[in-house]
Structure 1
Amino acid sequence: MVKKLVKIVSVLLLFALLIAGVFFYSIYYSVDHVKLVNETISSTKIPTSMNDIKIAFISDIKYHGFMKKERLSTMMETLETAGADIVIFGGDVFTSFEEQKPDSQTVREITSLLQDIKAPLGKFAVLGDEDLVSKEAKQKVTTILYNSDFEIITNKKLQIRNGSKDSITLIGLDSMINGNPNVSKPFDNISSDEFNIMVTHCPDIINNNEINTKYLDIILSGHSLGGQIYLPLIGALQKSEGADTYSHGKYSINETKLYVSNGLGTVNMDMRLFARPQILIFRLVHEN
């Protein structure tokens, strides 16, 4: 009887230690340690001048909530180690803008950190739903991004070159929440012979039948934070409007790859499990 009781107590103790370890990891480690997720994209449509170019995608900073200067500074140092040639931001600089409006010191902090990001071929951004929650929020975030040398590509298409007339195409689409996405204008004269990247904040906009994915090679989005708590076989515990269908990781939509970033920040609770903050790094390879 005593041996059986000792065995039961031991199992319960081990289980309690496991649960405590999971909580410690989720609260004290996972939220601070950003992960570089490396993907190699090979295509005959990538010009030789863009061979070996690296594109970094960051999203959902959620500054002024749980995200403070020290944490973001460390994450930006990790980004710098990737040696990205192009940096793309997928929206949501702040969180709960209307509840906790950033003061001038906060604006200076985030501007300085974003300005320090190096990208010889350019820095580009779309706005997220939190950036568009009000006219004041949009103006503030737009100014921060402009002063940080980001070009906002809302409902725009542009070509990125590397010392050659050959290029890849970058398409920015406004957020489906609080925004006004124009699904026709950026696709004018788009060619399926070119390597085309679309960036938008909410991944579920891809459910819009007016978006012809046959012209798109990859789509980059954020918004979901990967669910923050993501359990194998169960999935994201926290889903949100705009990321209900596509909430975590990589998806194949016909021939197009959709990447949903976990982002950098957290909301509601400063906790992550199996959904660490991440920076997506894409290495482009010209395929003969």
Structure 2
Amino acid sequence: MTKLQKTLFIAVAVLTACMMSICASLYHAIYIEPGEIAVNYQMIKNKKIPKDMYDVSIVYFTDLEYGKFQDQKRTDALFKKIEELHPDILIFGGDLFDAKYKTTDQDRQAMIDRFAALPASLGKFAVIGEQDLVNEERQTLVYDIYANSQVEVVDNSTRFLGNRSKSGIQLIGLRTDADFNQALANVDDTHYNLLVSHYADHLRNDALKNVSISYALAGNSHGTQILYPILGGYRKYPGNEKLNRDNGANLPFPYYISAGTGCIHVNARLNATPEIVYLIFSR
């Protein structure tokens, strides 16, 4: 074999390997990863967490986007996984249905049954996403589902979360159209304050700079849904243009932006596996 032939052979071998790698990634992104469910376990330690809340668990998941891509099979598998985690507190981060999906009465009842069956003895809560507000009919449907499945919507306000005692933590919920004055009116620095916002960009708001936020959770961006190595995410979503998993920031408090659970625009995920976030308070 001549030197030129060797060079050509190596070049073809490298190109073939690259093509095989790309094909394997595409197959995984389209047929495998969208149906996977990762559980992200986080142990939370903070002096402001009262002893009565030690070992209390919170399951946070967001961006279900039930509809064309997030079908019944995937959704039932997700809720089964959440049920197996047996959280004390459940928090949903918004976007229950895909904006373009035309819901049926069967969809409504099935979603009520799913949420109602989840074992969260210390409470179930939700914040509202932009796709929950696409029109008045959708907004009414989402609030109706929550009302009938014992899920309390935290709209620009706070809720006290306790373990059957007077001590506990505060949950702060922000809408997409955040009213920070209203949401933060009852927040003080004596409590452990858990902030949940559908939009991650809200976490950069100046209103939070002088407020005692202990931890924050957000979603909306689906982890950019397709995250290319080195190149980063394939698109930015409104509400996560300044802050997302591909573009972090130094904030006065720790935060986590979830990759969510469903798909929008395209039924594919790459390096952004659907996830449930499991938090447990520790001494």
Q: Structure 2-normalised TM-score?
A: 0.93
**Partner secondary structure for residue 52 of structure 1:** coil
SS in 1 for 2:133: coil
Q: Percent identity?
A: 29
SS of match in other structure, 1:281? strand
Report the residue type matching 1:132 in the other structure.
Answer: L
Letter matched to residue 235 of structure 2: Q
Q: Shift in Å at residue 249 of structure 1? A: 7.6
Query: If the length of structure 1 is used for normalisation, what is the TM-score?
Result: 0.91
Distance in structure 2 (CA, Å) of the matches to 1:53 and 1:6:
60
Task: Read off the aligned partner of 2:237 and give its amino acid letter.
Answer: S
Q: Which residue of the partner structure matches residue 129 of structure 1?
A: 130
In structure 2, relative to structure 1, the CA distance for the partners of 1:191 and 1:281 (3 Å cut) is same
Superposition map of 1:52-201 within 5 A: 52-96=55-99, 99-176=100-177, 181-201=178-198
CA–CA distance in structure 2, aligned partners of residues 168 and 206 of structure 1? 19
The equivalent residue for 2:52 is 49
Asked whether the 8 Å contact 1:250–1:258 carries over to 2, the reply is no
CA contact (8 A) 2:204 2:251 kept: no
Report Cα offsets for 1:184-235 as digits up to 9, x if no partner.
1232242212100111110101232223454111111111111001134432
Listed as ranges, the gaps of 5+ residues in structure 1 are none
Secondary structure of 1:124 counterpart:
strand
Distance, in Å, in 2 between the alignment partners of 1:100 and 1:280 is 26
Confirm whether residue 220 of structure 1 aligns to residue 217 of structure 2.
yes
Deviation at 1:113, TM superposition (A): 2.1
Q: Partners of 1:165 and 1:191 in 2: how far apart? A: 16
**C-alpha displacement at 1:110, in angstroms?**
2.3
1:236-275 alignment to 2 at 5 Å?
Answer: 236-248=233-245, 253-275=250-272
**Residues 64, 106 of structure 1: 8 Å contact kept:** no
Determine if the alignment matches structure 1 residue 29 to structure 2 residue 26: no
Equivalent residues, number: 280
Contact 1:252–1:258 (Cα < 8 Å) also in 2: no
Task: Tell me, yes or no, if structure 1 residue 281 matches structure 2 residue 278.
Answer: yes
Q: Residue 37 of structure 1: SS of its match in structure 2?
A: strand
Q: CA deviation at 1:100?
A: 3.1
User: Equivalent residue of 2:48, what SS?
Assistant: coil
Q: What are the Cα deviations for residues 241-278 of structure 1, in whole angstroms up to 9, with x where unaligned?
A: 11011112896644411211111101111111111111
Distance 1:249 1:265, change over 3 A: same
RMSD: 1.8
- The correspondence for 2:41, drawn from 35, 38, 41, is 38
- 182-191 vs 116-125, greater mean Cα deviation: 182-191
Please list the CA deviations of residues 99-130 of structure 1 after superposition, one character each: whole Å capped at 9, or x if unmatched.
43211122222222222221111100011000
2:15 counterpart SS class: helix
Q: Identify which range, 223-232 or 101-110, moves more after superposition.
A: 101-110
Deviates more, 1:140-149 or 1:229-238: 229-238
1:278, 1:66 → 2: CA distance?
16
Q: Deviations over 1:118-161 (max 9, x none)?
A: 11111000110000111111101111122222111111211111
Distance 1:157 1:255, change over 3 A: same
Task: Give 1 or 2: higher helix fraction.
Answer: 2
Does structure 1 retain, via aligned residues, the 8 Å contact 2:60–2:91? yes
Question: In structure 2, how many angstroms separate the alpha carbons of the residues matched to 1:140 and 1:14?
Answer: 50
Offset from partner CA, 1:166-192 (integer Å, 9 cap, x none): 11001111113xxxx221123224221
